[in-house]
Structure 1
Amino acid sequence: MNVSSAPAGTASPYRTLAAAAPPPGRIEVVEFFWYSCPHCYEFEPALRGWVARHGDEIVFRRVPVGMHPRQLPQQRMFYVMEALGMDQRADRELLHQIHDARRPLDTETALAGFAADAGVAGDRFHAAWRSAAVQQKVDAATRLHTALNVTSVPTVVIGGRYVTSPAMLGATLPMWGQTPAMRHEATLATMDTLLRQARQDSTTR
């Protein structure tokens, strides 16, 4: 999949993929993330609010990345929790334990302990961890972030063709006095614009 880019030396708030226009109806919005990424953790509340505001217009999903070996256990854990029926409370507790309680939780053994704290028996956890269904979802996630040329997190893809992130917006803002809140606000504003554009694309498909 080809990607259009801004002229050399020019920072852009987003990039456009050479992809087909999204189908009519609700627009898919995908967040690529990694549980241990501090920038993902900082962005999560703002993104959650944005998703809530646009809930009737979008289909939102999160995709964990596995770009580096150290990301692979937590990428798999996302789909293990899904297979075990662990809900959003478990997802947020995992984030809390990693970022606030300073627990690494980046190995199968450590993540099994986290699941055990949530009441999941070890045999169920390890069976899900090794299941073909979870492996298929891990492989699909890796294929997707590779195809979309996602190289950092958090990254958001709107309508399958518009890619943006707080890092991209940060590069367009004055560096002096820049804060995460400023980057998040600018990112959400850009996402609003890209959502409108994706919706327009879908009507001219």
Structure 2
Amino acid sequence: MGQVFKAFSVAAMLTLISFSFGVSAAEWKEGEHYDVLKPGFRAGASDTIVVTEFFSYGCPHCFTFEPMLTAWSKTLPEGVELQPSPVIFNASMQLHAKAFYAAEVLGVVDTVHPALFKAIHVQRQRLASKDEIRGIFVANGVDGEEFDNVIDSFGVSSQVRQSDARVRASQISGTPSIVVNGKYRVSARKAGSQANMLKLADHLIAMEQGQIE
């Protein structure tokens, strides 16, 4: 299974390289390639530029996007941070959102986040119950009782509500989507590809930094 996941990662990176030629920075147009949120929302501290990734564990496009996004996030300049934010359109998505924030609370996002994607898209598990999700955590070194104490905690539930509020404020209708600093919404449909989403995000980050107009 690890080889399958690596194959997806390699394919995603090749896709990123293949789209290295496309719309130039000077050609990115508001309304055509990205949308301005009116009103926007406060994404983080005033001295930080936050790139919010809206995703769903059940979304195959998010699964292929994740390795690209992870590689890209390592290139972000100082003062810019990536904030994953699960979308919640139904009850199963709410459970998956709780799983993500439980992983954050337990400090195991680096291992559990990709494992949840892999379980659904490679191992073909539905992860439709708390017990199934618990199994993923335990398989990745989390004590079962610690998971039980966190998954329905006030802190996790609060994070889920905040994530849902961000989805509504961003008017997200599909995944994966990116919002730069609570102002600019980027989708693959408008940007032209997942690779272009990241190129456009770089452009919008530079705008927020005052490097370009």
TM-score (norm 1): 0.79
1:81 to 95, 103, 111: 103
**8 Å Cα contact 1:21/1:198 also seen in 2:** no
Tell me how far apart the structure 2 counterparts of residues 81 and 24 of structure 1 sit (CA, whole Å). Answer: 26
2:196 to 160, 169, 186: 186
1:17 to 8, 14, 37: 37
Q: Match of 2:26?
A: none
Structure 1: where are the runs of 5+ without partners?
Answer: 7-11, 171-182
What do the CA deviations read for 1:95-130 (whole angstroms, capped 9, x no partner)? Answer: 222211112223212101212222333332222112
Tell me how far apart the structure 1 counterparts of residues 41 and 167 of structure 2 sit (CA, whole Å). Answer: 17
Identity %: 26
What do the CA deviations read for 1:141-191 (whole angstroms, capped 9, x no partner)? Answer: 111111121121111011210110213223xxxxxxxxxxxx122222211
Q: How does 1:1-205 map to 2 (within 5 A)?
A: 6=31, 12-18=32-38, 19=40, 25-170=47-192, 183-200=193-210
Which stretch shifts more, 185-194 or 59-68? 185-194
Question: Secondary structure of 1:53's partner?
Answer: coil
Q: Name segments (4+ residues, structure 1) moved above 6 Å.
A: 20-24
What is the letter of the counterpart of residue 167 of structure 2?
H
Which stretch shifts more, 152-161 or 49-58? 49-58
**8 Å Cα contact 2:111/2:140 also seen in 1:** no
Tell me how far apart the structure 2 counterparts of residues 184 and 57 of structure 1 sit (CA, whole Å). Answer: 23
> Structure 1 residues 133 and 184 mapped into 2: Cα distance closer, same or farther (>3 Å)?
same
- How many matched pairs? 182
Q: CA RMSD in A?
A: 2.5
Question: Secondary structure of 1:200's partner?
Answer: coil
> Structure 1 residues 115 and 21 mapped into 2: Cα distance closer, same or farther (>3 Å)?
closer
> Structure 1 residues 187 and 119 mapped into 2: Cα distance closer, same or farther (>3 Å)?
closer
Tell me how far apart the structure 2 counterparts of residues 114 and 157 of structure 1 sit (CA, whole Å). Answer: 29
What is the letter of the counterpart of residue 71 of structure 1?
M
Q: Match of 1:9?
A: none
Tell me how far apart the structure 1 counterparts of residues 88 and 208 of structure 2 sit (CA, whole Å). Answer: 27
TM-score (norm 2): 0.76
What is the letter of the counterpart of residue 206 of structure 2?
R
How much has 1:57 moved relative to structure 2?
A: 4.3
